[in-house]
Amino acid sequence: MDVLNIKNITKYFGTFCALNDISLNVKKGEVISIIGPSGSGKSTLLRCINRIEKITSGSITIDGTAMVENVNGKAKYISEKEVRQLILKTGMVFQHFNLFPHMTALQNVIEAPIKVQKKSREEAVKVAEELLTMVGLGEKMNNYPVQLSGGQKQRAAIARALALNPLLMLFDEPTSALDPEITGAVLNVMRDPAKNNMTMLIATHEMGFAKEVSDRVIFMDNGHIVEEGTPAEIFDNPKSDRLQHFLESIIR
C-alpha cells in the first residue's frame, strides 16, 4: 500500500499559486528527493503534507486514511483531532531546526512521545537515548539547543521527529542553514533511515546526496512537478529545458 497519495492539489497564498495541480504517490520504503529553485514549491508541498499549510483544493491520503478530500472543488479536511492523529505518521525536519530552546536535547525528543502519544516517561527516555546516541549526540543529551552547533541541532531535530516512530519522514531543506563542512554529518544521519526502509521525502539542494540515496527524484518549478524519474534519468538525462537549465546553473 502507498504511504502517501497526493491527488491534484493546489495551494494558493492569496492570489499567488504556490502549488499547481500536484499529484504524487509514495510507496513504503521509497526515498524521494524534491529538487528545484527557491520558491518552486518544494517546502510548501512538504508543509501541506503534514498540514502546517492547508491546501486550497485536491486530496491527500496518508497510509490509507484521507486527511483532506476535494468536495465541490474545495479542500475539505477531516476533524482537527483526526488530523492531529494522522500527521503523527509523518515526521518533519525543518530548515531552521525549530528545536524548543527552553528544553534540553533529551527533553525536546521526549516531549511529544509523553504528551501526545502518552507513553511512559521511562519508555520515552529509553527511545530518546537510543535515537540521540544514533545521531551522535549521546554525550550532548542534556545540552540546551543554544549549547549545540547547527549540525548538532539538526541531528537532535531528526531524533525528535524519529521518536514518534513515523511512517514517513519529511525533510524540508535540512542542510540549507548549515555550514558546508557540517552538512555531511547531518546527511550521514539521514542515510541510515533511508537504507533501513524508512519512507522519506527530502526537499534539498544537495544534489550529490539526492543522487545517492533517492529511488526517485522530482524536479519542481513554479509550483509544478516538471519532471520526475530515477536519479540517473533526472541528473544524467534531463529531458525538459527547465531541468537542464536548473542543473547547469547549480553544477558549475
Partner 1 sequence: MSEFFSYVIRIWPAMQQGALVSLEIFAVTLILSLPLGLLVALVGLVKFKPVRWLINTYIWIMRGTPLLLQLFFVYFGLPTFGITLNSITSVFVAFALNYAAYFAEIFRAGILSIDKGQYEASQALGMTYSQTMRRIIIPQTVKRIIPPLSNEVITLIKDTSLATYITVPELLHAAKTAVNRDSVTTAYLVAAIIYLFLTLILTVISKKL
Applying CB under 8 A, the residues found at the interface with partner 1 are 47, 50-52, 84-85, 87-88, 90-92, 94, 96, 98-102, 111-112, 115-117, 160-161, 164
Least distance from partner 1 to the Cβ atom of residue 85, Å: 7
Least distance from partner 1 to the Cβ atom of residue 203, Å: 14
Q: What would the grid cell of residue 200 be?
A: 522519506
155 DSSP 8-state letter? H
C-alpha distance from residue 57 to each of 12, 23, 33, 194, 206 (Å): 9, 12, 24, 31, 31
Q: Which residue has the cell 540521540?
A: 132
Q: What is the CA radius of gyration of the chain?
A: 18
Of 145 and 238, the one with the shorter C-beta distance to partner 1 is 145
Of 92 and 243, the one with the shorter C-beta distance to partner 1 is 92
Least distance from partner 1 to the Cβ atom of residue 6, Å: 18
Q: Which of 77, 82, 79, 87 is nearest to 47 (CA)?
A: 87
Of 93 and 189, the one with the shorter C-beta distance to partner 1 is 93
Least distance from partner 1 to the Cβ atom of residue 158, Å: 13
232 DSSP 8-state letter? I
Of 190 and 207, the one with the shorter C-beta distance to partner 1 is 190
Of 135 and 164, the one with the shorter C-beta distance to partner 1 is 164
C-alpha distance from residue 184 to each of 65, 72, 213, 237, 247 (Å): 36, 47, 13, 26, 21
Least distance from partner 1 to the Cβ atom of residue 7, Å: 22
